[in-house]
Structure 1
Amino acid sequence: MQSGQPQFEQEMVFEAEISSLSVAASPRSAGDDQDHIQALMEVRVPLPPVLVHRPTMRVIDGVHRLRAAQLRGDEKIPVTYFDGSESDAFVLAVESNVAHGLPLSMADRKQAAGRIITTHPQWSDRMIATTTGLSPGIVSEIRRRAGGSNLVEGSRIGQDGRVRPVDIAAGRVLASKLIQENPGLSLRQIAREARISPETARDVRNRLRRGEDPLPKPRVRARPRPEAVVAATPAERARAEPSAVTSDGGAISRSRIAERAAAVDRLKSDPALRFSETGRTLLRLFNFLTLAGAEWQAIVDSVPPHCKGTVTVLAREYAGVWEEIAARMDYEVTA
């Protein structure tokens, strides 16, 4: 979990009566996914324990595992308990559903971000973005629409647990005032008072010594030329699309690479693979192979000349291993 977020004891596993658990206040607006529940029912290895908010007995993470247990006719289910507040329990529910299992929809993640901004206004946009699986820019926009009342004393807590000002410029101005009034203050004292990093405090002090403004000049970004923003036709995009060369001299387009990565992502969400050691090994192998053409070319270019022969032999041998695996899978599918 991120620094500043609620902690809980994950090692202690208990058994709870299924009838005692509640599934209210889920961040998932679409409700249960029956296909996912069916897939969990077919898993032959023990599933991870369900995470439960002890004060309310509400399921934080594992509703689909709970539904699968109910359909199997189980009366009890393994659980771990979280004893924090309800608002922290909701944060944990969102974070858990973003990190693994059936992912939350974009609408659910945005709605969750709005709720977390209200209950945890001191958290930075980046910290909330990491929790909800959104970009910091989207979180910033959601916060802006919610109004300025969500700011807490002009500062927020970052992912590393440090408190930083919302307005860095205000922190720099305050730091310059502190330095001028008391030149003997240490960088840590200045940083703590102005709620900036020690490195920023050092930069402010060096600027003042050189007679410069404590605020650096904003960088001016060059505007793109008009012709650079003209939408390309599908044919033009296909011609411009980078590709990876295959062993037979063909090419794999970026769209095919994206399709392959998407297929691996779908496998990652399948509990039959995620909840078994051999399944996780297979997913890790696939994850290593979902590189773009430029990344593969960078690997090729980085191999020193005296290693190329060995790498070539190994690459062909391992390609043969994958061919053998594919043949076995094909045989089992068609048998």
Structure 2
Amino acid sequence: MVLGTDGPTQVHSTDVAYPGGVAEQFEVRRVPVASLRPPADALREEAESAEHVRLLAGSDAELPSIVVHRATMRVIDGMHRLRAAELRGEKEISARFFDGSAQDAFVFAVRANVWHGLPLSLSERTAAAGRILRSHPQWSNRAIAAATGLSAKTVGAQRRRLGGAGSDTTSRIGRDGRTRPVSSAEGRRIAGRLILESPEASLRVIARQAGISPGTVRDVRARLSRGEDVVPPRQRARGDSAASQDPGPAPACPPAAGAAADVGAGPLEQEPSEIFRSLCRDPSLRMSEHGRQLLRMVEPHVLDPHLWDRVAESVPPHRAQIVSALATQCAERWQRLASRVKADDVPSVV
């Protein structure tokens, strides 16, 4: 932090790591005033304050270093200080250089001007957030909020107004630079599979592999023990509505799952997801290697009814025939498994 007549200047970027580094890592250099250019995109709705420039120029204190985008020699932070130096008749000014893209330089400028000197107004910060949403849609709402001095809720609302900038991405970069899924639904499903594969694994190990928090893994484990869906109803509802306005009928569950339903209920008397949860409660399946493998094989058929629609749409035309033939072969193997299970004859593996 640099202290000067225009207040504390925080000369670092957002907490998100990106090319260019932190300006304070670089030494201060004397730069010819005539070589510097104003920002390409103004942060403020009005031009520099002449009164503030005169206030800085009239001070006997040395002006704090400005920050300059090395590639363009445009001032990122310190235009009032530059104008004050010009008013003083100085030929050089102290500066640090920022190396990075123009988009990252803009983010740096916003962060540096949010609080110090003449802070950006709410409307100016909101406009800046809109631009960052367009240039850095992969950043999380909290990361952009940290850069602009807004709340994450406000940034999220603006993202929706802009047409969901970054809504097509499945993950976003947080303030700490780590990439996390936009929705924890997929992470929960991954955690569920990992728990079935390695019941003894710790919460932290599974959390790291699934990309979710240990607390979420704990909830997934508890849901599995109760035979519930690992994804809460609200998240499932959001996922279903986002998948399609008219998703069509859900694909049928393979006969093998119905044959293994609870005693007293026929295959057609329960929803596939309910049958799957009942299978997950069965220790004879959960605690055996082949039982867990069966659960993993069945899971994608029953927990995400719209998965197959999305998969079908993703198949390129030149691969459609071979994918169709392969799917038919897989279906035949499922049918053979169903017949063997129903006949209580499972000596071999399909």
Q: TM-score range by the shorter chain?
A: 0.5 to 0.7
Cα distance in 1 for residues equivalent to 2:144 and 2:22: 19
Local SS of the residue matching 2:172? strand
1:5 to 17, 27, 44: 17
Residue number in structure 2 paired with 1:203: 219
Give the structure 2 partner of residue 243 of structure 1: none
* Structure 1 Cα separation of the partners of residues 223 and 146 of structure 2: 34
Give ranges in structure 1 of 5+ residues lacking alignment. Answer: 219-335
1:113 aligned residue (122, 129, 137): 129
* Higher-helix-fraction structure: 1
| 8 A Cα contact 1:179 1:190, kept in partner | yes
Contact 1:8–1:81 (Cα < 8 Å) also in 2: no
2:118 corresponds to? 102
Q: Measure, in 2, the Cα distance between the counterparts of 1:97 and 1:139.
A: 18
User: What does residue range 71-220 of structure 1 map to in structure 2 within 5 Å?
Assistant: 71-151=87-167, 153-180=169-196, 183=199, 187-215=203-231
**Residue 159 of structure 2 contacts residue 165 of structure 2 at CA under 8 Å; is this kept in 1?**
no
Structure 1 equivalent of residue 38 of structure 2: 23
TM-score by length of 1: 0.60
Give, in whole Å, the separation in 2 of the partners of 1:18 and 1:85. 22
* TM-score where L is the length of structure 2: 0.57
Deviations 1:217-267 (A, max 9, x none): 77xxxxxxxxxxxxxxxxxxxxxxxxxxxxxxxxxxxxxxxxxxxxxxxxx
Alignment-derived partner of residue 84 in structure 2: 68
Letter in 2 for 1:87: Q
Does the CA contact (< 8 Å) of 2:31 and 2:92 recur in 1? Answer: yes
In the alignment, what sits opposite 2:56? 40
8 A contact 1:49–1:79 mirrored in 2: yes
Residue 181 of structure 1, CA deviation:
5.0
Equivalent AA in structure 2 for residue 98 of structure 1? V
Cα displacement (A) at 1:184: 5.8
Identity %: 50
Shift of 1:176: 2.0
The separation in 1 between residues aligned to 2:177 and 2:209, in whole angstroms, is 17
Q: How many aligned residue pairs are there?
A: 218
Instruction: Supply the distance in 2 between the matched residues of 1:53 and 1:13 (Cα, whole angstroms).
Output: 14
Question: What CA deviation, in whole Å up to 9, does each residue of 1:160-185 have, x standing for no partner?
Answer: 22222212334323422443355465
Q: Deviations over 1:38-85 (max 9, x none)?
A: 111122211210100001101000000000111111111000001111
